[in-house]
């Protein structure tokens, strides 16, 4: 901002508002047994969290909850530790809309990656990682490569 008064000129610098970074990364502590149907991955550990309201290990541990409006990136890495005909991972918002997904055929020790973006114009929504083995019972590994994250861009 520049202003002048007579023979004096003043230069003033004003910083814009800074929004605190919103981010969380969660993972499994124990193996999650899954029947041949869809279920939300239950995240029992938090590697980091910038706002404690973004995730709870006790209440709705499958949800990642934005705390401000804006664009968020969601990602999930899932390691399946047992055989199933098809493995599918889908990141869904609270309305059930798919934000990203990955699908693979039969096998064990399969790792899948899914990512997605969503703009939140109002608060109250969430996203979750829905895992779907079909053909037989399967499970999510406890390995460090079975995790999910959410960050505000």
pLDDT tens sequence across 129-145: 998 877 666 777 766 67
Higher pLDDT, 22 or 136: 22
Q: Is 53 helix (H, G, I), strand (E, B) or coil?
A: helix
Is the per-residue pLDDT at 10 higher than 90?
no
Q: Give me the mean pLDDT over the 94-103 stretch.
A: 95
The C-alpha atoms of residue 87 and residue 138 are separated, in whole angstroms, by 9
Q: Give me the mean pLDDT over the 11-24 stretch.
A: 73
Q: What's the pLDDT score for residue 132? A: 84
Query: What pLDDT digit, counting tens, does each position of 50-77 carry?
Result: 999 999 999 999 999 999 999 999 999 9
Neighbouring C-beta atoms of residue 34, cutoff 10 Å: 21
Q: Which helix (H) or strand (E) holds 17?
A: none
With contact defined as beta carbons under 8 Å apart, do 53 and 67 qualify? yes
With contact defined as beta carbons under 8 Å apart, do 63 and 128 qualify? yes
* 3-state helix vs strand vs coil in the chain, percent to 5: 0, 50, 45
The C-alpha atoms of residue 7 and residue 110 are separated, in whole angstroms, by 73
Write b or e for each residue in 5-22: b if 16 or more Cβ atoms lie within 10 A of its Cβ, otherwise e: eeeeeeeeeeeeeeeeeb
Q: What's the pLDDT score for residue 6? A: 64
The C-alpha atoms of residue 36 and residue 136 are separated, in whole angstroms, by 5
Nearest one of 113, 26, 117 to 73, comparing CA atoms? 117
Q: Which of 38-42, 105-109, 134-138 has the largest mean confidence? A: 38-42
pTM of the complete model beyond 0.85: no
């Amino acid at each position: 901002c520049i202003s002048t008064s007579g023979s004096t000129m003043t230069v003033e610098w004003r910083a814009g508002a800074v929004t605190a970074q919103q981010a969380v990364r969660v993972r499994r502590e124990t193996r999650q047994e899954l029947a041949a149907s869809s279920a939300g991955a239950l995240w029992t550990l938090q590697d980091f969290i910038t706002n404690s309201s973004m995730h709870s290990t006790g209440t709705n541990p499958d949800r990642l909850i934005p705390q401000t409006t804006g664009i968020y990136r969601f990602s999930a890495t899932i390691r399946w530790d047992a055989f199933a005909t098809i493995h599918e991972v889908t990141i869904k918002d609270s309305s059930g809309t798919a934000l990203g997904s990955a699908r693979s055929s039969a096998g064990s020790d399969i790792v899948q990656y899914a990512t997605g973006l969503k703009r939140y114009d109002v608060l109250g929504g969430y996203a979750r990682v829905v895992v779907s083995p079909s053909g037989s019972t399967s499970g999510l590994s406890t390995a460090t490569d079975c995790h999910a994250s959410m960050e505000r861009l």
